[in-house]
A and B are shown apart, each in its own frame.
Chain A
């Protein structure tokens, strides 16, 4: 069986992920892909480095997939997150969800990506056209000034 969650350093095989959750029982199969955007917060981005606390990130991703099955009526979830250097348009995260019916599949897919962004210890450093690079803090823009 395909693991519930994996971290990879090469392009994500999204079709394999879809196949992993497809089954005779599942009438709805969804694939969410997160990709590197060229403009973030008004700045031109040339690429992103993704870094992780790998052991904990994998543990959290697995927990999210397991929790999704409990919350969304046994929805079948697989998550792959890519690490390392990615260019614009490259896929950084793929979430495949399958369920007998579409309502649970859509709800589970949305919940999984929000949980991932909330709690999985993965960080990204954006590279800009001017050659600078900064770690992104989603709560407070890049390189947010610490509160003192």
Chain B
């Protein structure tokens, strides 16, 4: 049996505050290979209209924890782009 070892997955990326306004959405679905990283997610986001208003390396959270560019992203993960925080 022949099959493509590199299957694809869809990951929903949550957007907030100024980033949601820049991209015109509170979340975006991105399609990725199933062995992708945070950097792969960012590459997909950068191709979207309005992404020129985002910094080159926005903070990212995976499953509600801050995650580096090399962190793995898996099917079903909750991925979010985190604008500069301003609580308090």
Q: Chain A interface (Cβ within 8 Å of chain B)? A: 34, 50-53, 55-57, 59, 81, 92-93, 113, 116-125, 135-140, 143-144, 146-148
Closest to A135 in B: B18
Which residues of the other chain, A, contact B30 by a CB distance below 8 angstroms? none
Known: A53-B82, A148-B56. A117 touches B88 (CB 8 A): yes
Task: Tell me the B63-87 residues at the A interface (CB within 8 Å).
Answer: 64-66, 78, 80, 82-87
CB B50 to nearest CB in A, in angstroms, measures 11
Which residues of the other chain, A, contact B49 by a CB distance below 8 angstroms? none
Instruction: Give complex CA distance A121, B52 in Å.
Output: 22
CB B24 to nearest CB in A, in angstroms, measures 15
Residues B16 and A123 in contact, CB atoms below 8 Å apart: yes
Which residues of the other chain, A, contact B21 by a CB distance below 8 angstroms? 135
Interface pairs (11), CB distance under 8 Å: A53-B16, A81-B87, A113-B88, A119-B66, A121-B61, A121-B82, A123-B18, A123-B85, A137-B83, A146-B54, A148-B52
Which among A56, A81, A122 is the interface contact of B80 at CB below 8 angstroms? A56
Closest to A125 in B: B17
Instruction: Give complex CA distance A122, B64 in Å.
Output: 13
Residues A122 and B87 in contact, CB atoms below 8 Å apart: yes
Which residues of the other chain, B, contact A55 by a CB distance below 8 angstroms? 64, 78
B48 at the interface (CB under 8 A from A): no
Which among A93, A137, A143, A144 is the interface contact of B88 at CB below 8 angstroms? A93
Known: A53-B14, A56-B64, A135-B21. A116 touches B80 (CB 8 A): no
Which residues of the other chain, B, contact A93 by a CB distance below 8 angstroms? 87-88
Which residues of the other chain, B, contact A92 by a CB distance below 8 angstroms? 88
Task: Tell me the B38-68 residues at the A interface (CB within 8 Å).
Answer: 52-56, 61, 64-66
- A34-B88, A122-B87 given; name 11 further pairs at CB < 8 Å: A51-B17, A52-B16, A59-B64, A120-B85, A122-B86, A123-B16, A123-B86, A137-B18, A140-B84, A147-B56, A148-B52
